[in-house]
């Protein structure tokens, strides 16, 4: 059975696209067939993050409107032959597709892939609704900031109303040392408010910016802390029981293993 | 208080009952005063308007809709056994349905509503009676109740108790750290700083909302039920 997973957030710029690209690559590293879909129509950038921008011929709207077949619009990744991108249209806006179009599209993708990851636009508008329309599961990305967490809470309420099951949470850009100085919300602070299952914690990592600019995802780089966090999340998504590691800002310091403190990924219950 | 107008919460949401026999202008008058009294409660609410077997002309219906609009009360549907009323409603673009007397008869037991989940930012719970939440009321969420509000969890959002004008209503929470509290016509902003770390109660004392630890409140209200 293939799984369709939408990655979304309330607030913009918290790391949805980064998460989609990295989780897609990490799942493909496990030998799974993965499609990543850019549903941020009009503001596409999943292709840029994956370094595939110059290979785009057709896009999602072309498929929906019947100008090409799905196969023609899918772009093979440079590193993983089992990873494909379905890019968004840059010159159209979100009204170009409907929720029904997205359901039909995801059903087509299910036939070919083990995982379909959908990168959602931020916010609570039609674009978000389209992005979750065909999903079986939803991952919510937030940074440990009050405004981002508040917006995540809003989105979780909507996802629950759409009956997409219990969404799981990725906390991105955590800075453990700021947390220990009391300058940033801790994992517990965030979970206390959102009261949903945590699937992973990604540290703030400057290397992500440089690798993104090169069009290389972080999981390709074994020394990248964010990359390792995404590899872990992908394993949990696939159902493995992996305790949550919080990679410290200072690579020299010992990592804190959160599994020992009772924070367990949801996958472990299955 | 008048019996010409009654508001009840049910499985389908709020239901506004308008007496089916009284003179229409009296019913409208009673509704107007009810809406004025509970202005906060009704603001933004969607109700099913139940007029029983009264037949309403299009003009009468238009009057009703105008009054509701004035108070930001939205008609989700019009329920009536009268065909004239239902066609007047459809002409005005309001969903109309025949009253199902048997379904309307068994009123919800008591006047309390039970919410067993976290109420999240952007969500509103609105009920004419008491509300009990087992879970948190997060910042950005709202609970509006005609009666008391009990939060078995953290109250970080906005709660309005006694929203139909009852100043004797109280709000209690295990952790009372609201954005704003309202009781009847009174408003209190959250005190700066953290909550006491123990269950607390908010109630009206004179012309102000007071917050006190549950232990203290209980001792000073020993004789209450
Ligand atoms: N863990 C991280 N450490 C450091 N920088 C990060 C991290 N995650 C994301 N970023 C950076 O944050 C910025 C926004 O990330 P991204 O584009 O993935 O967010 P988004 O949620 O998709 O944004 P939008 O809402 O605009 O679609 C990018 O510059 C990205 O490189
Ligand atoms: Mg994005």
**Residue-range definition of the domain harbouring residue A109:** 3-269
- Tell me what the mean pLDDT of segment B87-104 comes to: 75
Least confident of A100-109, A223-232, B38-47: B38-47
Q: Which pLDDT belongs to residue A211?
A: 87
Residue-wise pLDDT tens digits, A146-171: 999 999 999 999 999 888 888 999 99
Predicted confidence (pLDDT) at residue B103 exceeds the cutoff of 70: no
CATH code of the region B5-104? 3.30.750.50
Task: Give B223's pLDDT tier (boundaries 50, 70, 90).
Answer: low
Predicted confidence (pLDDT) at residue B1 exceeds the cutoff of 50: no
Domains B5-104 and B112-220 share a fold: no
How many structural domains are present in chain A? Answer: 1
How many C-beta neighbours within 10 Å does residue B175 have?
18
- Tell me what the mean pLDDT of segment A3-15 comes to: 96
Domain covering B112-220: architecture: 3 Solenoid (2.160)
Nearest to A238 by CA among A31, A81, A27: A27
- Asked if A184 and A178 count as a contact pair (C-beta separation under 8 A), the reply is yes
Length of chain A: 270
Distance from CA of B135 to the nearest CA of A (A): 10
Q: Which pLDDT belongs to residue B81?
A: 87
Q: Which sequence spans correspond to the domains of chain B?
A: 5-104, 112-220
B21, HSE (Cβ side, Cα atoms, 13 Å) = 1
Residue-wise pLDDT tens digits, B110-123: 588 999 999 999 99
pTM of the model as a whole? 0.79
- Residue B118 touches chain A, beta carbons under 8 Å: yes
A209 within ligand 1 shell (Cβ under 6 A) = yes
Mean pLDDT of chain A: 89
What span, in angstroms and rounded, lies between the C-alpha atoms of A124 and A135?
Answer: 16
A214 within ligand 1 shell (Cβ under 6 A) = no
Within 8 A of B138 by CB-CB distance, chain A residues are 153, 193
Share of chain A above pLDDT 90, in %: 74
- Asked if B172 and B198 count as a contact pair (C-beta separation under 8 A), the reply is no
Q: Report the CATH number that the domain containing residue A23 is assigned in CATH.
A: 3.40.50.300
Predicted confidence (pLDDT) at residue B84 exceeds the cutoff of 50: yes
Q: Which pLDDT belongs to residue B191?
A: 67
Within 8 A of A158 by CB-CB distance, chain B residues are 122
Q: Which pLDDT belongs to residue A260?
A: 40
Those residues with Cβ within 8 angstroms of residue B98's Cβ, 6 or more apart along the chain or in another chain: B79, B80, B81, B86
- Residue A43 touches chain B, beta carbons under 8 Å: no
């Amino acid at each position: 059975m293939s799984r369709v997973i939408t990655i979304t957030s309330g607030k913009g710029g918290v790391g949805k696209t980064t998460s989609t690209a990295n989780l897609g690559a990490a799942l493909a590293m496990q030998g799974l067939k993965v499609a990543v879909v850019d549903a941020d129509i009009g503001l596409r950038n999943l292709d840029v993050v994956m370094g595939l921008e110059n290979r785009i011929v057709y896009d999602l709207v072309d498929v929906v409107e019947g100008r090409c077949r799905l196969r023609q619009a899918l772009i093979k990744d440079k590193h993983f032959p089992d990873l494909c991108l379905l890019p968004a249209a840059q010159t159209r806006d979100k009204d170009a597709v409907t929720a029904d179009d997205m359901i039909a599209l995801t059903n087509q993708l299910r036939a070919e892939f083990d995982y379909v990851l959908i990168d959602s636009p931020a916010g609570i508008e039609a674009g978000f609704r389209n992005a979750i329309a065909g999903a079986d599961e939803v991952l919510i990305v937030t940074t440990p900031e009050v405004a981002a967490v508040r917006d995540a809470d809003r989105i979780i309420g909507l996802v629950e109303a759409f009956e997409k099951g219990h969404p799981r949470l990725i906390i991105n850009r955590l800075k453990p040392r700021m947390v220990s100085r009391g300058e940033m919300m801790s994992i517990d602070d965030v979970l206390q408010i959102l009261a949903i299952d945590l699937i992973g914690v990604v540290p703030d990592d400057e290397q992500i910016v440089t690798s993104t600019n090169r069009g290389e995802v972080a999981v390709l780089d074994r020394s990248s802390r964010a990359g390792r966090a995404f590899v872990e999340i992908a394993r949990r998504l696939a159902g493995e029981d992996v305790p949550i590691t919080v990679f410290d800002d200072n690579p020299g310091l010992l990592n804190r293993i959160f599994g020992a403190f009772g924070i367990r990924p949801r996958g472990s219950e299955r | 208080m008048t019996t010409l107008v009654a508001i009840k919460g049910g499985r389908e949401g709020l239901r506004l009952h308008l007496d089916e026999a009284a003179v229409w202008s009296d019913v409208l008058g009673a509704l107007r005063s009810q809406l004025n009294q509970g202005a906060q409660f009704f603001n933004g609410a969607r109700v099913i308007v139940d007029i029983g077997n009264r037949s309403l002309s299009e003009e009468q219906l238009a009057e009703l809709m105008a009054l509701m609009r004035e108070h930001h009360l939205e008609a989700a549907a019009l329920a009536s056994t009268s065909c004239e009323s239902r066609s007047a409603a459809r002409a005005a673009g309001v969903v109309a349905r025949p009253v199902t007397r048997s379904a309307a008869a068994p009123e919800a037991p008591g006047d309390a509503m039970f919410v067993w989940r976290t109420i999240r930012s952007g969500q509103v719970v609105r009920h004419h009676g008491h509300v009990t939440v087992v879970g948190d009321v997060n910042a950005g969420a709202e609970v509006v109740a005609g009666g008391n509000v009990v939060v078995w969890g953290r109250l970080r959002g906005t709660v309005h108790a006694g929203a139909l004008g009852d100043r004797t209503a109280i709000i209690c929470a295990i952790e009372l750290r609201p954005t704003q509290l309202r009781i009847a016509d009174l408003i209190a902003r959250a005190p700066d700083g953290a909550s006491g770390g123990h269950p607390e109660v908010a109630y009206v004392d004179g012309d102000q909302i007071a917050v006190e630890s549950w232990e203290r409140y209980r001792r000073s209200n020993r004789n209450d039920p």
